[in-house]
Amino acid sequence: MGELDGRKALVTGGSRGIGRAIVYRLASEGADVVINYHSNQKAAEEIASEVIKLGRKAEIIMADVSDQSEAERLATESIAALGNIDILVNNAGIGATAVGRPNVATATPDDFYRLMAAHAFASHDLCRMIVPQMRESTRGDVVMISSIAAQSFGPTGGTYSAAKAAMEAVAYTLAKEERANNIHVNIVAPGLIETDMAEDMVKFLGRVKDSINELANESPFGRLGYPEDIAGSVAFLCSERASYITNQRITVAGS
Ligand code: NAP
């Protein structure tokens, strides 16, 4: 018996990094999972086969969640694939450095729009599409994967921090709106986690020569965060152990 037996999850950006670990952890606890990806089909197929080995159902769906019609299609196809979705993890995202101009004084309106679309608009679109049918389930969970950046507001990343802050505002509001329907809405805010995104970001900023692991010694506990650290928090929030928890933000940054 797993803590999430019978639950049906949609994880956006489930093909790599943090999303991949969340998919694996939710399936390990008994959930069937829709794995959304954007471009890396091979990675999505690999984690899907891991889920199937666990004896759970896995569906992979390609969709650019930053495009409204794609996000709507993802929601519709996810519900059709699993019958209903009672766990939504809004994880897909891009870093400010991915668009190349991370400073406030250099980021263009289009850069800002791209970050807002990937994090805030996508999360809102998926909540708008998924939450109404979630009300029919005994319990629903929405987890937003935000970032410590939405509170620290460090330099080089204003578009990213603003997009994550908007995503969090949606979560805090939704938590109050849907509590009466037994839908729990929480935020997980990672620090620096060992993934492709973090690797690219620290290289872009010139913080390392070769690898993100050069930063391990200056990180809390002498190591970087692992995707599994985030996945554990998400699984906890969706479990019975968190049945009296909603509207919360858990920082998973070792500090
Ligand atoms: P990652 O390794 O770059 O993986 C990103 C995932 O999101 C991939 O599965 C990618 O799909 C998917 N994706 C990106 N844009 C998408 C789009 N428009 N539509 C659908 N899927 C999309 O990133 P990560 O580090 O795991 O980050 C995951 C989340 O954690 C992000 O929201 C990020 O902001 C947040 N976060 C990360 C860190 C960190 O240090 N890593 C810290 C704080 C917060 P493909 O495989 O198809 O490309």
Q: What is the pLDDT of residues 178-234, one digit of tens each?
A: 999 999 999 999 999 999 999 999 999 999 988 999 999 989 999 999 999 999 999
Residue 24 known to be catalytic: no
Is pLDDT larger for residue 101 or for residue 87? 87
The answer on pLDDT for 142 being more than 90 is: yes
The confidence score (pLDDT) of residue 131 equals: 98
Question: Across residues 163-177, what is the average pLDDT?
Answer: 98
Number of other CB atoms surrounding residue 246 within 10 Å: 20
pLDDT digits 0-9 by tens, 25-36: 999 999 999 999
Mean pLDDT, residues 79-87: 98
16 touches ligand 1 (CB under 6 Å): yes
pLDDT of residue 11: 99
With a 6 A CB cut-off, is 198 part of the ligand 1 pocket?
yes
Task: Please give the distance, rounded to the nearest whole angstrom, from the Cα atom of residue 90 to the centre of ligand 1.
Answer: 10
Q: Band of the pLDDT at 53, cuts 50, 70, 90?
A: very high
Q: Which of 21-30, 46-55, 72-81, 96-105 has the lowest mean pLDDT?
A: 96-105
Look up the pTM and report it: 0.98
Q: Measured from the CB, is residue 31 less than 6 Å from ligand 1?
A: no
State the CATH architecture for 8-193+230-248: 3-Layer(aba) Sandwich (3.40)
At 100, is the pLDDT very low, low, confident or very high (cuts 50, 70, 90)?
confident
What spacing in Å lies between the alpha carbon of 56 and ligand 1's midpoint?
23
Spell out the SS3 assignment of the chain: CCCCCCCEEEECCCCCHHHHHHHHHHHHCCCEEEEEECCCHHHHHHHHHHHHHCCCCEEEEECCCCCHHHHHHHHHHHHHHHCCCCEEEECCCCCHHHHCCCCCCCCCHHHHHHHHHHHHHHHHHHHHHHHHHHCCCCCEEEEEECCCHHHHCCCCCHHHHHHHHHHHHHHHHHHHHHHHHCEEEEEEEECCECCHHHHHHHHHCCCCCCCHHHHHHHCHHHCCECHHHHHHHHHHHHCHHHCCCCCCEEEECCC
Residue from 197, 202, 229, 230 to probe ligand 1 pocket by mutation (most atoms less than 8 Å from CB): 197
Confidence of residue 1 (pLDDT cuts 50, 70, 90): confident
Q: What is the model's pLDDT at position 3?
A: 97
Tell me, what's the pLDDT at 232? 98
Mean per-residue pLDDT of the chain? 97
Domain ranges (residues) in the chain: 8-193+230-248
Mean pLDDT, range 170-178, rounded to an integer: 98
Ligand 1 center–CA 20 separation, angstroms: 10
Nearest CA to ligand 1 atom 33: 93
The proportion of the chain whose per-residue pLDDT surpasses 90, expressed as a percent, equals 95
Catalytic residue among 37, 113, 160, 172: 160
Ligand 1 pocket: which of 64, 168, 195, 226 to mutate (most atoms within 8 A of CB) = 195
128 CA from centroid of ligand 1 (Å) = 21
Smallest CA separation from ligand 1 atom 19, residue: 64
For ligand 1, whether the C-beta of 15 sits within 6 Å is yes
